Amino acid sequence: MSKFTQVRYRDAGVNIDEADLAVDAIKKMARGTFTRGVLTEIGSFGASFQLTGLRQPVLVSSADGVGTKLKIAFLTGRHDTVGEDLVNHCVNDIAVQGARPLFFLDYFAIGKLDAKVAASVISGVARGCRANGCALIGGETAEMPGLYAPGEYDLAGFIVGAAERSRLLSGAAVKAGDILLGLSSTGLHTNGYSLARKLLFEVAGLRPDSVLPETGKSVADSLLAVHRSYLKPILSLTKSGLLHGAAHITGGGITDNTPRMMAKDFTAVIDTFSWTIPPFFEVLRRIGNVPEDDFRRTFNLGVGMILAVPERGAARAEKILIKAGERPFRIGSVAARKRGRPRVEYR
């Protein structure tokens, strides 16, 4: 190649014009999520947010992704739900500590930028933010040729919320005798997809459009069911003063996540007959003859959130949750932990 040959950024695989199209679409969607605290427009070097209304505000933050659920989006060409998954997952992670979301930032990285795909992904992020009263205040759209396989991308989210210091859920209030209330999940949420994909596509030889007789839904619809937000029921209980602790049931399942909301002196006693495991999970268990311990630590098994409430206030807490649109069930209780006793006991 001659030393006089012109080489543009596009020749290296980065299309600035396509990036501008993507950013323009994202700006419009982001503005639709803005709340009163947002002080800067999308496109500034940094995002500004004014915090008001709290006497002793404590900021609570989290960062997460949606794991290999993205592989299902790539496989089906359906990109408009993973962003909503991402927001709801992050919202739940700070809500269990008593925080209300303030603002959200996303990170979208791809090998070759397709403005339509980027806009589709961010439309889910914006939808999730609007539903949770959270402002999509900024983010990053990165085109990195050679780093990602064609048609694939990565997605991550960063959330900041706030709570009154007196209303923080630290787990200190959880005690022996507390009742554990379960709230239903909408599917796998954002965990267990590596195993689910192996079972459904490799072991069973199914396709995304294969319909599962047990559920009446296609494999794709079952796998792409949106990870739901539990913000409304959690805030309802927090206001009532009845919520002692909360556990978001993600990777590690009930076994690993329930202990995170209470001190090491306690054991969560789970009644396995208190709820029916949804058919889709049972399909996965059957296909792979998945061992019980793996099954419980890989999938949420239909339980997306567990709430600890005082025994005397349990009936009132259930009424509050029902009013918030939930169907809570008593999944177990908290007991004093004896030496050698596991953090979670299944009975």
Q: How far, in Å, are 192, 219, 286 from residue 296 at the CA level?
A: 11, 21, 14
E strand spans, 48-124? 57-65, 100-110
Whether residue 190 sits in one domain with residue 336: yes
Does the residue 300 lie in any domain?
yes
* pLDDT tens track for 69-125: 999 999 999 999 999 999 999 999 999 999 999 999 999 999 999 989 999 999 999
Does the residue 2 lie in any domain?
no
Whether residue 255 sits in one domain with residue 115: no
| C-alpha count within 13 angstroms, C-beta hemisphere, residue 210 | 12
* pLDDT tens track for 17-61: 666 776 777 888 888 888 888 888 877 788 898 998 889 999 999
Q: How far, in Å, are 21, 75, 178, 223 from residue 218 at the CA level?
A: 34, 14, 40, 9
Can you tell me the distance from the alpha carbon of 223 to that of 219, in angstroms, rounded to the nearest whole number?
A: 6
Does the residue 269 lie in any domain?
yes
Does the residue 93 lie in any domain?
yes
CATH number at 14 reads 3.30.1330.10
Whether residue 210 sits in one domain with residue 95: no
Rg over alpha carbons for the chain, rounded to the nearest Å, is: 22
Whether residue 207 sits in one domain with residue 95: no
Has residue 259 got a pLDDT over 60? Answer: yes
Does the residue 172 lie in any domain?
no
Look at residues 167, 194, 227 and tell me which one is the last residue of a structural domain.
Answer: 167
What is the domain range of residue 93? 9-167
